[in-house]
């Protein structure tokens, strides 16, 4: 009778006397970037962005350079050997070396960025054609224009200019001679599709040694004409 009374009291015990083995749930975690983690009472002050008064420009390729005009070749140097090409009257490919053009003689070599381009066609080559007699009267035996173009383009250009043998138009098609003297002109960032060509220059060589070098900035035409060579002869 006493046992049943005890059980009855336990069953009817108030809820405040009950015991639980479960622990209170931890408060939910909130993300640092969750909207709930930002209180409406808190203030947000963005960090100021630092602006440089002289921002660095994007990397670009240009035909202009900040450094002084220079090349791998200089006055007093021996011209590097290279093979140049042209088409003869029969349309056959002929080759000539730089040493053959310059050995034991005075030779004028000048370069253009490209056949059929405006300044090269209207001023540079015609100027040397016009002054070829005066240059030869001063002892120049060879006058040659070098271009990073193929022999077929140069033959068509010669016919278009209607010139004879006053000036040789020679192909440095792969740019070997141009690279050897450090006169490359990278025009690959231009939309006309010229790629890597030659900077404009004129030089006077005696027995293969550079006596005068007029190297232009890119394709400019200010100091590499026939008149500039005549002044120093």
Active site annotation includes 120: yes
Residue 233 Cα distances to 76, 106, 201, 223, angstroms: 16, 10, 17, 15
If you search the block for the tokens 């025009």, which residue do you land on?
187
**DSSP state letters, 123-155:** IIHHHHHHTHHHHHHTTEEEEEEEESS-HHHHH
Q: What are phi and psi of 218, to 5 degrees?
A: 60, -125
Q: What is the pLDDT of residue 70?
A: 62
Distance CA 227, CA 2 (A): 136
Segment 157-188, tens digit of pLDDT: 999 999 999 999 999 999 999 999 999 999 99
Segment 80-115, tens digit of pLDDT: 999 999 999 999 999 999 999 999 999 999 999 999
Catalytic-role residue among 120, 147, 181, 205: 120
Q: What is the pLDDT of residue 25?
A: 47
CATH 3.40.30.10 given to domain 83-231: yes
- Would you tell me how many other CB atoms lie within 10 Å of the CB of residue 199? 24
**pLDDT bucket at 69, cuts 50 / 70 / 90:** low
Provide the residue ranges of all domains of the chain, joining segments of one domain with +: 83-231
pTM comes to 0.70
Mean pLDDT of the residues in the chain: 80
Of 210, 203, 192, residue with least CA distance to 228: 203
Segment 19-63, tens digit of pLDDT: 344 444 444 444 433 444 444 444 444 444 444 444 433 333 333
Q: DSSP label at 50?
A: P
């Amino acid at each position: 009778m006493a046992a049943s009374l005890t059980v009855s009291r336990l069953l009817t015990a108030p809820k405040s006397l009950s015991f639980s083995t479960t622990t209170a749930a931890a408060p939910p975690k909130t993300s640092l970037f969750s909207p709930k983690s930002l209180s409406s009472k808190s203030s947000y002050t963005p960090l100021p962005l630092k602006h440089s008064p002289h921002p660095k420009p994007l990397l670009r390729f240009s035909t202009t350079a900040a450094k002084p005009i220079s090349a791998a070749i200089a006055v007093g140097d021996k011209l590097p050997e290279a093979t140049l090409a042209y088409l003869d009257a029969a349309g056959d490919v002929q080759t000539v070396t730089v040493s053959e053009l310059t050995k034991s003689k005075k030779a004028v070599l000048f370069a253009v960025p490209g056949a059929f381009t405006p300044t090269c066609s209207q001023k540079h080559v015609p100027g040397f054609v016009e002054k070829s007699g005066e240059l030869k009267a001063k002892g120049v035996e060879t006058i040659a224009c070098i271009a990073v173009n193929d022999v077929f383009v140069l033959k068509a250009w010669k016919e278009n200019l209607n010139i004879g043998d006053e000036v040789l138009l020679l192909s440095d098609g792969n740019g070997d001679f141009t690279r050897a003297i450090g006169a490359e002109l990278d025009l690959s960032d231009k939309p006309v599709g010229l790629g890597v060509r030659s900077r404009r220059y004129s030089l006077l060589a005696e027995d293969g040694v550079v006596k005068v070098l007029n190297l232009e900035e890119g394709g400019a035409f200010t100091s590499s004409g026939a008149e500039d060579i005549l002044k120093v002869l």
